[in-house]
Structure 1
Amino acid sequence: MNRPNAIRGFTLIELMIAVAIVGILVAVAVPAYQDSVRKARRGQAKADLVEIAQLAERFRSVNNTYVGFALPTGMNVSPRQGTTYYNIAIANQTANTYTLTATPQGPQTEDTLCGTLGLNAAGVKSAATSDISRCW
Structure 2
Amino acid sequence: MILGGKFTISSVKQYGFTLIELMITVVIIAILAAIAIPSYLNHIKASHRTDVQASMMNLAQYLESQYNASFSYPASTAIPTSLTAPSNISSYYTITVDTGSGQAYTITATPTSNQNDTQCGTLTLNEKGAKTPTTTGCWK
Q: What band does the TM-score fall into relative to the shorter chain?
A: 0.7 to 0.9
Aligned length: 131
- Alignment check: 8 A CA contact 2:66 2:74 kept: no
**TM-score, normalisation: structure 1:** 0.86
Q: Which amino acid aligns with 1:10?
A: F
Spell out, residue by residue over 1:8-58, the C-alpha distance to the aligned partner (whole angstroms, 9 max, x if none).
331101110110110111111001000000000000000000000000000
CA distance in 1, matches of 2:95, 2:44: 19
**TM-score, normalisation: structure 2:** 0.84
Alignment of 1:43-122 (within 5 A): 43-68=50-75, 70-77=78-85, 79-81=86-88, 84-109=91-116, 111-122=117-128
CA distance in 2, matches of 1:82, 1:51: 13
**Structure of greater Rg:** 2
Spell out, residue by residue over 1:59-107, the C-alpha distance to the aligned partner (whole angstroms, 9 max, x if none).
0001101143533123222x42476111100115223211000000132
Matched residue SS, 1:17: helix
Residues 43 and 81 of structure 1, relative CA distance in 2, 3 Å threshold? closer
Residues 45 and 82 of structure 1, relative CA distance in 2, 3 Å threshold? closer
- Alignment check: 8 A CA contact 2:59 2:84 kept: no
Q: Could you list the runs of 5+ residues in structure 2 that have no partner in the other structure?
A: 1-7
Between 1:10-19 and 1:60-69, the stretch displaced more is 60-69
Identity %: 37
Runs ≥4 in structure 1, deviation > 3 angstroms?
Answer: none
CA RMSD of aligned residues (A): 1.9
CA distance in 1, matches of 2:17, 2:130: 61
- Alignment check: 8 A CA contact 1:98 1:120 kept: yes
- Alignment check: 8 A CA contact 2:66 2:72 kept: yes
